[in-house]
Amino acid sequence: MRAKSYNQYLDILPEIKDALEKGLPIVALESTIISHGMPYPRNVETAKQTEQVVRDNGAIPATIAILGGRLKVGLSSAEIDDLGKKGLDVIKSSRRDIPFLVAGEQDGATTVAATMIIADMAGIRLFATGGIGGVHRGGENSMDVSADLEELGQTNVAVVCAGIKSILDIGRTLEYLETAGVPVVSYKTDEVPAFYARSSGYKSDYQVNSPNHAAKALHAKYDLGINGSILITNPVPEIYALDPNDINNTIEEAITEMEKLGITGKQTTPFLLSRIAERTGGESLDTNIKLVLNNAKLAARIAVEYSNACKDGK
Ligand code: PSU
Ligand code: MN
């Protein structure tokens, strides 16, 4: 067997390669959120704004996707435009899909799981997104459990998100993460936020009050050789949060509609996100965008501290 070398599959933008060599702070960003998570053109605007927020907070953005079978670490502005315009026509790609897209020289938008895998290959340890996949409601029967959870259990990239969305079974998702050995931490609160809403009623494992605290825990984890992610949940800013009861009713209605239509598998999350946006008259989309930007800021600040911790060796 050949020595393990992923480099032949990776295309890393020169700015990011340089930052990796120098140990500078970098934040990975996913592309399924662009193609499947939001409608055009706000998906493209948001992707570019997110990159800018990462830069404004001292780190270098690396938006990840698969293009023509190449694992791209960092996209050009034109490539982001293209993914955003193609939307649902791009293949939503998780761990299972990567080898087939490479072999077929195809394009794929990467989910949290696939983005983590590619970020890890490049050596990027921080990743910002909006929401992760989890155990779907009724998952105890359907077994609809996102591959994101298994990835969080094994791949060495910390993920900053806005908590667990109530399209999912929050309690079971947290149980799964506990089993997988993933610490769920919350930023400046002791509760796991619920994406559109700041509160879920579930306590997180650890509260962190500074980017430095999160970075030190991450550094300790990888220094100790404990594989897997730390899930850093960051509540949506108060002014953009939605009323938990209102949004839960909207989510219930969207789930009922989805069940009637017989939608399952990888179509589930994109369907629910777009129905919820329609039913809230775009309000949920505005909240979604604001929380992504908020997460990019926190991830960049943690990346700065993590880069310092690595240089100090502590
Ligand atoms: N949640 C969101 N927006 C998203 C997703 C989740 O609020 O765009 C995307 C992410 O890419 C995530 C994926 O990794 O959906 C999970 O899909 P599934 O449940 O099919 O694994
Ligand atoms: Mn699923």
Which ligand has its closest atom nearest to the C-alpha of 152?
A: 1
How many angstroms is it from 115 CA to the middle of ligand 2? 16
| pLDDT at residue 312, as a whole number | 85
* Interval 184-210: pLDDT, tens: 999 999 999 999 999 999 999 999 999
30 carries an active-site annotation: yes
CATH for 10-239+290-312 is: 3.40.1790.10
The residue among 29, 214, 38 whose CA lies nearest residue 114 is: 29
**pLDDT score of 167 more than 90:** yes
Q: For a pLDDT cut of 70, what percent of the chain falls above it?
A: 98
C-alpha 108: how far from chain center: 16
How many angstroms is it from 112 CA to the middle of ligand 1? 7
Long-range contacts, stretch 183-189, CB < 8 angstroms, 24+ apart: 183/217, 183/230, 183/231, 184/231, 184/233, 185/214, 185/217, 185/230, 185/231, 185/232, 185/233, 186/232, 186/233, 186/234, 186/235, 187/214, 187/232, 187/233, 187/234, 187/235, 187/298, 188/235, 189/235
Is residue 1 very low, low, confident or very high in pLDDT (cuts 50, 70, 90)? Answer: very low
How many angstroms is it from 285 CA to the middle of ligand 2? 21
Rounded average pLDDT over 282-299: 98
**pLDDT score of 287 more than 70:** yes
| pLDDT at residue 314, as a whole number | 63
Phi and psi torsions of 32, nearest 5°: -65, -30
**Atom 2, ligand 1: which residue's CA is nearest?**
131
Which amino acid type is present at position 142? S
45 carries an active-site annotation: no
- The span from the CA of 48 to the CA of 78, in Å, is 11
The mean predicted confidence, pLDDT, of the chain is: 96
Residue 126 is encoded by which pair of tokens?
């921080």
- The span from the CA of 23 to the CA of 211, in Å, is 17
Binding-site residues, ligand 1, Cβ < 6 A: 30, 32-33, 36-37, 94, 111-112, 130-133, 146-148, 165, 266, 269, 273
* Annotated catalytic residue within 72, 92, 151, 165: 165
Rounded average pLDDT over 197-224: 97
Rounded average pLDDT over 287-300: 98
| pLDDT at residue 7, as a whole number | 85
How many angstroms is it from 165 CA to the middle of ligand 2? 14
The residue ranges of every structural domain in the chain are: 10-239+290-312
Structural contact between residues 96 and 35, judged by C-beta atoms closer than 8 angstroms: no
* Interval 9-26: pLDDT, tens: 999 999 999 999 999 999
Rounded average pLDDT over 101-122: 98
